[in-house]
Structure 1
Amino acid sequence: MELFDNHKKLFSTAALFFISLTILVAITPALNNQKNNQPLPGVEPLSEQAIKGKAVYIANGCVGCHTQQVRNVDMDKIWGGRPGMAADYALNKRTDIWRNTATLMGTERTGPDLTNIGSRQPSSDWNLVHLYNPRIVVKESIMPAYPWMFTIKKDPAKGDVIVNVPEEYLEGKEGKVVADKEALYLVAYLQSLKQAKLPDGSTAAEFLYKSVEKEQAGATPKKAVDGALLYATHCQSCHQANGEGLPGAFPSLKGSPIVLDDNAELMVNIIMNGYDARQNYGVMPAVGTNAGLTAEEIAAIMNHEKTSWGNSARQISPEEVQKLIEFVKLNATTK
């Protein structure tokens, strides 16, 4: 055949076939997906600072250890209220014409998933301390520190963001730790990572492979909920293992009038709804709501705090906690 004898016709035909196939198989479906997959209602696009923070996130290789995808398996339930979906990534755009880093879903979880970190940990104080040295707030952390994103100044300027770092982590340096723009941009990006709620009437996909405990005749009684373990999981990174928090960043629970108060309404309200009215401390997230804690688990955490570090307060029952949860929910909806 002449086609195979004429190299110009052969390569032109092959190129035309390749281009046509690319348009049909890759480009057209991509454009169609881009048109059909819209972001969920209420999702806010990244701010200018968050966009710069995303670039910092990429430059420092954070995607190598952190994912941004809640899979549809039960073990991922701690990272978000529902499995991820295409709409969660609809606002992601190319970094530029040469680089396609639209999504940072990641493939490895050496560190926790960050899909909903903006809701789980919205405090800029915590995030900045954690970036300066993760061991300050999580003793067992293997995450590298990022001290080059901060400057130690003896006389910080009026607009400087001061990070409350304990003296033992300053390695003999004098002055205050001030967050550079790079750190502030990165924190702005992390705070923007929030899993959007589905529109009213929409049903989220279920988490699969749930572990079901079968009750058997003669089986041993169910173990009591471990308040110390729950505290370590949900509270310790801010309030510390000794309950003393970090001065200027996170309040102490040791001797706290809120913890020692026999009326537990305020304490339950803070756990369920978070708290951001304190001028001297960072914002506390709604730990109980975000983590889906039960009344029994919240009671266990509260009783651990009420009886630890020298505290001696009246313990609370799960039934009492359940009534208070319903009460604070009712108050929140009527305000």
Structure 2
Amino acid sequence: MDFFDNYKKLFLAALALFIGLTIAVAILPAIHNQQNNAPLPNHVPLSEDAYQGKLSYISNGCVACHTQQVRNVDMDKPWGKRPGIPADYADNTRIDFWRNTATLMGTERTGPDLTNIGARQPSMAWNLLHLYQPRAVVGSSIMPAYPWLFEVKDKLGKDDVEVIVPDEFRNGINGKIIATKEALQLVAYLQSLKQVDLPDGKLPMEFLYKKKEVAVAAAANGGEENLPDGATLYTQNCAACHQGNGEGLAGAFPPLKGSKIVLGDDLELFVNVIMLGYDARAEYAVMNAVGSDNNLTAEEVTAIINHERTSWGNDAKKVTLEEVKKIMESL
């Protein structure tokens, strides 16, 4: 009973128990994780600009609405090509001596997951416009605008990056809207967020609770082909820039409604634009290689093309899977 009456012994016993549990429950597992998890072989460390962009991402509270975790459930499949693994987060380091860095995995998806946003949306022009005014590119977006990351100048400097903002979102601004260094660094961080391929021979974890994919019969060839839903694929891969109505954004992204490329007979050019990107029109931002970046199959490319050729008043002949396959094989 003397033990329970001696406050020094009780305090020391409680302290020893606390330290022992901390070592067993927190410290030893953390050391084990560090020893047994390392970045994947193809992992690319953050550049200095991307790292500063990460700090801006943290300070601007982006983690409150965006996650960076692809769970192994089928509903997460749009966010990455595979579920996340510990190695994806093994390269995180402390911000400084006093502050640890969060993995930024997040807890709530008010906005889309950003794990693979660097591959899904690598366009700098799109990302900058989205930061300046999200509703300029996604009409229904509830994301706040970040105009303080930009400045207005009368003339462009040598290294200035201008953001082409549609007139309806300029709020009476007549000068040139220029991205600050912090905005460019934040975009550099977002563009660095790409899932790393697993080493050869390693199979990714499977997505669980998969929904049965329903093929949509294509009208071409008398309905002989079964293709994915072109409207859904367009929404996932193209609508962010070209808009759901196919009208694009003036001065930023060209319209597909009435487009000569979409309605024309040069199918090889059309497929090349989707798979390899396009930079032949100075009045518009550079288009990234959407097809290659997102690993689109010939079936998916065919479905997207047919959707674009027959939507928003476009009335062109649908193309066949065989035609698209032949062109893709030659790329």
Pairwise TM-score range, normalised by the shorter structure: 0.7 to 0.9
**Structure 1 residues 255-297: Cα deviation after superposition (integer angstroms, max 9, x where no partner):** 5443344231232233234446776644434433454544343
Query: Which residue of 2 is the match for residue 320 of structure 1?
Result: 323
Deviates more, 1:5-14 or 1:169-178: 5-14
Residue 273 (structure 2) pairs with residue 270 (structure 1)? yes
Q: Is the 1:274–1:286 Cα contact (8 Å) retained in structure 2?
A: yes
Q: Residues 25-83 of structure 1, C-alpha deviation per residue, up to 9 Å, x if partnerless?
A: 21111012112100001211111111111111112211111110001011111111111
1:218 is matched with: none
Answer with 248-257 or 236-245: which moved more. Answer: 248-257
Tell me how far 1:228 sits from its aligned partner.
4.0
Q: Could you tell me which residue of structure 2 aligns to residue 209 of structure 1?
A: 209
What CA distance in whole angstroms lies between the structure 2 residues aligned with 1:320 and 1:101? Answer: 50
**Does residue 122 in structure 1 map to residue 125 in structure 2?**
no
Correspondence 1:88 to 2:88: yes
Q: Which moved more, 1:274-283 or 1:49-58?
A: 274-283
Summarize the Cα distance change of 1:278–1:70 in structure 2 as closer, same or farther, 3 Å threshold: farther
Give, in angstroms, the shift of residue 234 of structure 1.
2.1
Picking from 246, 253, 257, the partner of 1:243 is 246
Q: TM-score under structure 2 normalisation? A: 0.87
Task: Show the counterpart of 2:306.
Answer: 303
Q: Please give the alpha-carbon distance, in whole angstroms, between the structure 1 residues aligned to 2:212 and 2:253.
A: 37
Partner-residue secondary structure (3-state), 2:152: strand
Q: Give 1:180's aligned residue.
A: 180
Give the Å deviation of 1:142: 1.4
Secondary structure of the structure 2 residue equivalent to 1:178: strand
Equivalenced residues, count: 323
Q: Kindly indicate whether the alpha-carbon contact (under 8 Å) linking 1:122 and 1:284 is maintained by their aligned counterparts in 2.
A: no
Shift of 1:138: 1.0
Change (3 A) 1:286 1:180: same
Unaligned ranges ≥5, structure 1: 216-220, 329-335
Offset from partner CA, 1:147-187 (integer Å, 9 cap, x none): 11111222232221110101221111211111112211211
Quote the Cα distance in structure 1 between the aligned partners of 2:92 and 2:62. Answer: 17
Q: CA 1:210–1:89 in 2, change beyond 3 Å: closer, same or farther?
A: same
Task: Determine the C-alpha separation between the residues in 2 that align with 1:276 and 1:85.
Answer: 36
Show the 5 A alignment for 1:99-114.
99-114=99-114
Contact 1:53–1:185 (8 Å) recurs in 2: yes
Please say if 1:40 is aligned against 2:43: no
Q: Could you say if the C-alpha distance between residues 4 and 302 of structure 1 is closer, same or farther in structure 2, counting changes exceeding 3 Å?
A: same
Cα 1:229–1:32 change in 2 (3 A) is: closer
Structure 2, unmatched stretches of 5+, are: 216-222
Whichever residue aligns with residue 179 of structure 2, its letter is A
Name the CA distance, whole Å, in 1 between partners of 2:307 and 2:316: 10
Q: Is the 8 A contact 1:120 1:286 kept in 2?
A: no
Q: Which residue matches 2:5?
A: 5
Deviation at 1:309, TM superposition (A): 5.5
Cα distance in 2 for partners of 1:34, 1:275 equals 43
| 8 A Cα contact 1:262 1:313, kept in partner | no
Question: Is the 8 Å Cα contact of residues 83 and 205 (structure 1) preserved in structure 2?
Answer: yes
